[in-house]
Every structure is written in C-alpha cells, then in structure tokens.
Chains A and B, each alone.
Chain A
Amino acid sequence: MDQAKNFTKGFIRENPVFILMLGLCPALGTTTSAFNGMGMGFATMFVVLMSNIVVSLIKNFVPNKVRIPCYIVIIASFVTIVDLVMAGFMPALHEQLGLFIPLIVVNCFVLGRAEAFASKNTLLSSVIDGTGMGLGFTFALTLLGAAREILGSNAIFGLQFIEGDGMLVFILAPGAFIALGYLIALANKLNKQ
C-alpha cells in the first residue's frame, strides 16, 4: 500500500467531514471558533489513533461476532481518558467543548476507521491511517471553526481584527450548517479538478 497516499487521503480526497460526511455532530456543535474546532479535532485524532493501534493489534484475538462491542469499549476508554486529562489539564477548553468530548464515543468516524480500516490492516498502516484521518478531521474542524469565527466574531484564533460583533448567525447553529454546506461544496469542487 502506498503509505504516502494513505496518509494524505484524509485531507481532501477522503476527508471525514467534507467527503465522507462522518462525525458531523461535533463538527457542527463545537466549531464556534477555530481554537475550539482544533481542540475537538485533536481530541478526536488522539482517540482515532489510539483505537486504530489497539484494534489493529487485537484484530486476530477478537472473534468476529463480538468485534463491534470490543471496539466500542476500546473507543469509550480512550474517550474517557481524553475527557479526564482535558478536565485536569485544559479546564477552559474542556468547558467549552463540554458534552461533545464524551460524545466522541458515538462519532461514527472513529468506529468507521476501526471497522473499515484498522481491523483489516497492519499496525503501521493503521497508525498512518489514524494520524492522516485524524489530521484531516482536525483540519476540517479548524477550517470550519475559523470560517465561523471570522464571520461570526470578526476574529481568528481569538484575535479580534474588527471591533464589535460579526454576523452572529455564524456562531449559532444555523450558521454552522450554512458554513459547512459551502465548505463541502468547495471540497467537492476541488476533488473534481
């Protein structure tokens, strides 16, 4: 397998958010600013990477019929670890992301990588896949967060470039859908070229 391709596929070609359309719930819910999007992205990336590693290591030990419960337990454990570590060492971000951290458990993107990739591939490929896809997810969330923050708060990564409020709708749920829609359109256009 071409590992370079395996690594880069997550950014545009098979981007989890823009192309596969997985994990849209946190993508919409947490991206009120670029920093929040990035935090959520990295948290998810850690979970994807670790669960990919473990799933790939135990793929032959786990019988087929109970593989999904096993994957879920593994994913849930890593999510809880992320949750606890964030609460302890990054309380501000943890508070911002709130409920969405525990919800990584049900992010089908994570289970999707475990089921569709890690359970069928070698450890090395799974690590590269997890990192690439995780970075792709982080990239997508950061981009969406940045777009919403620029339009909604006149700021980027917390740096205000115009005084006052922006278009508040982008901080709220409808703006998340609008911004995500246009980013998906853009990704599709890039993919076609």
Chain B
Amino acid sequence: MTLRLDTVSLHSRERPLLDAVSLTLHPGEIVAVIGPNGAGKSTLLRLASGLVAPTSGTVSLDGTPIGDLPPERLAARRAMLGQDSVLRARFSVAELVRLGIRPPCPPARREAIASEALRRVGLEAFAGRDVMSLSGGERQRAHLARVLAQLAPSMHAGRPGFLLLDEPISAQDLARQRLVMDIARDHARQGGGCLMVLHDLNWAASRADRILVLNHGRTCAEGAPAEVLTPDMLKTAFDIAAPRLRIHVETERPFVIPHDFARFRATTERKSASCISP
C-alpha cells in the first residue's frame, strides 16, 4: 500500500507550478511538506489526491494510476483537507461530518462514525451547532472530522488509507495544534499514511518521519528531519538569516529558532544588563 508520485510536473500557462517532484508515501508514515509561500506545496497535495492530473509524470495508489480508479474507491482510500474548505449552506457540525460518509451506509453507522470523528477533533459538544457560527479554528477541525469520517469505513475494514492535510493547524491554538498532530500520529500508528503541508518547522521536525522541502516547484531536500533541517537549507529555501538549530536530547530531532537566541532570557532568570535592551 503506497501512494507514489513519480516525477510529476504541473504547468500552468505561464510557469511550472511543480517540476519533476517524486515522493512515495508508505503506510505508517507521516511526511511533512514544507517550503516558502508559493513553493507548490498545495499543488503537490492536489496532485497526490487525484484532484488535478499532472502535466507529466504519474500518481499511483497501490500501483494503479490514480486517474484509473473509480471516484468512490479512491474516496475510500484517501481523503484530503483543503485549505479553503467552504460550506455554502446552513448545516450543523454533525451534518457536515456525515456528508463525508458516502452512501450507502446505515444511518446508525453514519451516526457512530460521525460522533467518533467529532470526538477525535474535540468537537463532540458542537454536534448540533450551525457550522457558520463556528470560529475559524473550530470550522477547520469540523472539516477535519469530515475528512476522518470519509476514511473511517475502510479504516474499520482494516484498510487504513491516506490522509492529505493542507495546513491543518493553521487556524489552531497551541493545544489544538497538538491535538491535530496527534490525530495524524494516531492515523499513522494504525497503519495509514499522512502527507501534510506545514508552516511550523518545529511541528514538522518533531512529528514527521520525513520532510520534503519544496522551493519554486522543485524538490529542495528530502529526508529525515535531522538531515533536512540544516542552516544551509533554511537559508536557501526560506531566506532566513542565521537561524539557530538545537537538537532535542532524547528524540535527536532538530528545533529551529528563527530569531537571535542570545537576545532572549528565560522567564525565571532575573533581568541583567547583558540580555535586555532598554
């Protein structure tokens, strides 16, 4: 069970959006896609989902070209949380989540899948709420619940699929960022694969098995977080001057400090002339 992108390119009229990018997503794995704005991260996810066909190269799921799969089968094997999921109707949160479960599905089972998905994203108390009345972060998690519900039937049948998440923590507070990252981790532990676009390098560093760095539509680096997150790469891809890197003593994973570390003090330390400016 793999989701494979083989030297895929996508060209718009003016410019290449993605140029010969390859990536294989295995079961049980989280791959984070990072890169500056406009690097082609969302485009990569849209290609991986089969929503857009590449100009050249192939996207295949378990060896079958993704375009050859019937839409229903594809939907049972992969689900995607877009960046701009909009709902143009007054659905309740539970109704929105149930939309993700394709018929035929017995009503009681739909109900069970939906409430389980809502519990996972921490919205079980919001089931009856109007989706339009939610905050941005709540709405993003409601759509995440819909995406989880889409994969739930095949998950229960022992065929966990692929989660494609485009900036799933962009609207989340600190605690909910952790919640969403834990959901991705759980999904991978249960044998699914997760490909997620992240802007927070430290979440990528601490939770991803591999990181793919895109820049100008090309692969800039790919590998384990410690291999990829280097000062040189950060300078090249993000144009951050002199970022500092620390390594976690237990996990050996890198931690990026994009500021001048020497200018900060711990909150418990007393003020001293050396570390504050007036």
Say whether A associates with B: no
- A interface list, Cβ under 8 A from B: none
